[in-house]
Amino acid sequence: MQRETIVLYPAPGIGHIISMVELAKLIHKHHFSTTILLTTGFRDHPSIDAYIRRISAAHSSIFFHRLPHTAAPTAAISPAANFFSFIKRNAPNVATTLTQISESATIKAFVIDLFCTSAMEPASSMQIPVYYFIPFSAAGLALFSCFPKIHDDTSASFKDMVGVELRVPGNAPLKAVNMPEPILDRNDPAYWDILEFCTHIPKARGIIVNSFLELEPVAVKALAEGACFPNPTRAPSVYYIGPLIAEPQHSGLFLFR
C-alpha cells in the first residue's frame, strides 16, 4: 500500500513558507506526512535554507522538495506582477513534481497559497483535491472573494476613486483608495493576476483559514452564508484552524516580503 501525504505549495518568501510550515505541523497531529514544494530562483535567501534545516531536524514528517531553478522575471513591471509571473512560470515544475510524488505516494490533498492558483489546473487534472490556505484573516478572504464582483461593478482604478467607500460582506466600509496595493491600479498586470486568482476561489474543494469564529464573527457569518461568492448555493467549504502562531523569531508574516 502506498503511503499517504498532503502536498503544500507556498508562494516564494520566508513569510509564506513559515505559515505553510505551521499548517504542516497541525496536519501532522492528524497523522499525515506533508511535502512542501519550494520554488528556486526568486526571493531566495540563506535564512530560508537555515530555517528548512531546523524544521526538518525537528519534524520528521515534514518533507521539503525544491523545484528546479526558474529564472526570475526581468520585465520592468511592478514588484507584485514580477512575483506572480515567477510563480506562474513554475506551474510546469509543479505538475511534474506532483506526478513524481504520486508514483510512490497517494496525494490526499494539494494545499496552495492563493498566489499559487496557476498550480490548481494541473493538480485538478490529476484528480487531486485542491484547497486554498489563507494565512491572513477571514475578512481578507471575504474581500478577495468579492473582488470579481467589485471589479464588474466598477470601471476606474481604486487609486482614482477618492471619496468612494466599498461595501463588502464581512468587512467594515472600506475606502477604495485603501484597497490592497497590488490591485489599486488597473494598468498594473498584478491587478489582473489577482482578479484571476480570486475568480478561482470558488473552484477549490475547500478553503483553510488561519482564523476562528470568536475573532471574526461577522466575516465568518458572511462567508458561511455565501454572501461573498458568485453563487451562494455553491460556495466552497471554509475551515477555520487558527490561531496558528509561528515561533517568536519567525512571527513576521508579510505578503510581499
Sorted by where each starts, the structural domains of the chain and their CATH numbers stand as 3-138+200-250 (3.40.50.2000)
Q: Residue 73 has what pLDDT?
A: 87
- CA dihedral for 78, 81, 87, 92, sign (positive or negative): negative
Distance CA 240, CA 63 (A): 24
In whole angstroms, give the CA distance from residue 94 to residue 179: 31
133 φ, ψ (degrees, to nearest 5): -115, 120
What pLDDT was estimated at residue 168? 97
24 in Cβ contact with 31 (< 8 Å): no
pLDDT above 60 (res 256): no
Cα dist from 52 to 21, 45, 49, 133, whole Å: 9, 11, 5, 20
For residue range 97-126, what is the model confidence (pLDDT) as tens digits? Answer: 999 999 999 999 999 999 999 999 999 999
DSSP state of 226: T
Q: What is the DSSP string of 120-134?
A: HHHHHHTT--EEEEE
Q: Pick from 175, 180, 185: which is nearest to 256 by CA?
A: 180
Residues 169, 227 contacting (CB under 8 angstroms)? yes
Tell me the per-residue pLDDT of 3-62, one tens digit each, with 9 for 90 and over.
Answer: 899 999 999 999 999 999 999 999 999 989 999 999 999 999 999 999 999 999 999 999
How far is the C-alpha of 127 from the C-alpha of 129, rounded, in Å? 6
Average pLDDT over residues 192-217: 97
Residue whose C-alpha cell is 531553478 = 69
**Contact in structure between 236 and 204 (CB atoms under 8 Å):** yes
In 78-180 the beta strands, taken as DSSP E runs, fall at: 105-113, 130-134, 165-166, 174-175
What are the residues facing 111 on neighbouring strands? 8, 131
HSE, side-chain direction, 13 A CA sphere, residue 52:
18
Identify the weakest region by mean pLDDT among 153-157, 165-169, 242-246: 242-246
CA distances from 154 to 50, 173, 186, 190, 194 (A): 46, 16, 11, 17, 16
Q: Alpha-carbon distance 108 to 218, whole Å?
A: 32
pTM: 0.94
Predicted confidence (pLDDT) per residue in 170-199, tens digit = 999 999 999 999 999 999 999 999 999 999
pLDDT value, residue 249: 58
Active site residue ranges: 16, 113
CA atoms of 257 and 151, how far apart (whole Å): 26
pLDDT, mean over the chain: 93
Radius of gyration of the chain (CA): 18
